[in-house]
Chains A and B, each alone.
Chain A
Amino acid sequence: MPAGTVIVGTGQAGFQTAASLRAEGYLEPITLIGEEPHIPYQRPPLSKGFLMGKQDTESIELRPGAFYHDHQINLIAGRRIAAIECAERRVRLAAGGRLPYDALVLAVGARNRTLSIPGADLDGVLYLRSLEESIVIKERLAEAEEIVVIGGGFIGLELAAAARSLGKAVTVIEALPRLMPRVVAPVISDFFRELHTSRGVNVLCGCAVSEISGAHGRRKNLRHRRLCRSSQSICRRARPARIRSKCRRSGTMRRRGNRRPQRVLLRAAVVLDRPIRDQAADGGAFRRI
């Protein structure tokens, strides 16, 4: 019996590979394996409809569970591949066991970059990429009043819009001088900046976050609460010594090809490179919002 095709990664690409193979008449075994503990789902709703409660885990499934059985796709969710043993044409699972293959498809996707600034490990500093992470953000959003989104790309802005429409005070911090700079022209960046601003989102461009301050752990003490104000109030309150001054120039911020991480800060406070009121005063790059 042929070993067939093993597809590593249960995202849209891995799923579609399996579905297309069957649709095009491939008859040999197909194994679709990935570390996420869910059947393949759509990621786009995670930053909008899912957070808003308009879609749930079932409605974002790319296909219902029966699809995999009906199409003889062996779906193994929640398992991580530890190694590819090319010579033997098989993959080794982290939990033990091996899967032979005739063809191997790697559809493992990208990973968020993690923050490496002081305070990045504080409670309330969250990342968004997976369904698990979106579930946590949704839960935390319910009780958060003010949130800061680091990254003014598509996903960050979608998340900001979702949080804003839930009535939260929202600040978006983008390191480059304008929103979505890698994917749209300046005129479109301007349009969306206006749009988000008109809906009450505080948009800061050309700003790099250098530190996040707040209490460690999940304990919510007074100091923690006080620090859980918006970035604006923190910046006003912070002593000058605590505010790092290293506003970076455009073009030096990001390595190309990296998927931009989306970080959501709930309850932790962000210390900007410069106080917001100073940024507003200097006119050029910043506007008073």
Chain B
Amino acid sequence: MPKVIYVSANGAAREVEVPVGMTVMAAALKNGVDGILAECGGVCMCSTCHVYVDEKFFSKLPPAKDTEEAVLDIAAEERQPTSRLSCQIKVTEDLDGLIVRLPEKQR
């Protein structure tokens, strides 16, 4: 099963095994990873699951859709070049070892 590594704002890393097809957001909630709120429940509406994707993996992700681009603009913490909404990242075998850094605040 692919692994996703969540790195909190203070640098603490947490490795989670994620079934293929589950989103990075849902896996965080399911495994009690602090720092991802997902207030809208994963429908690309609220930006509280904002993550900074490690550069090595960023290019492997399908590009963000217009709605995600728009919602990223309202994220609580400043948007960076590798910002994504974790509710829009579905885990695949190809993403095994995916590293996402969590912003200090989500709202």
Contacts and interface: CB of A to CB of B under 8 A. Distances in A.
A17 to B, nearest CB: 13
Contacts of A66: 32
Nearest to B43: A44
B41 A45 contact: yes
A59 B29 contact: no
Contact of A64 (B30, B34, B41, B43): B30
18 contacts: A16-B39, A23-B34, A42-B41, A44-B41, A44-B43, A45-B41, A59-B26, A60-B41, A62-B29, A62-B41, A63-B29, A63-B32, A64-B29, A64-B30, A64-B32, A66-B32, A67-B32, A70-B32
A70 B30 CA distance: 12
Contacts, number: 18
10 closest A-B pairs by CB:
A42-B41, A64-B30, A70-B32, A63-B29, A67-B32, A44-B41, A66-B32, A45-B41, A44-B43, A59-B26
Interface of A: 16, 23, 42, 44-45, 59-60, 62-64, 66-67, 70
Contacts of B32: 63-64, 66-67, 70
Contacts of B30: 64
Given A63-B29, A67-B32, 16 more contacts: A16-B39, A23-B34, A42-B41, A44-B41, A44-B43, A45-B41, A59-B26, A60-B41, A62-B29, A62-B41, A63-B32, A64-B29, A64-B30, A64-B32, A66-B32, A70-B32
SS class of chain B's interface: helix, strand, loop or mixed? loop
Contacts of A63: 29, 32
Interface of B: 26, 29-30, 32, 34, 39, 41, 43
A23 B32 CA distance: 12
Contacts of A67: 32
A62 to B, nearest CB: 8
B22 to A, nearest CB: 9
Contacts of B41: 42, 44-45, 60, 62
A59 B27 CA distance: 11
A64 B28 CA distance: 11
Nearest to B31: A64
Nearest to B35: A23
A200 to B, nearest CB: 25
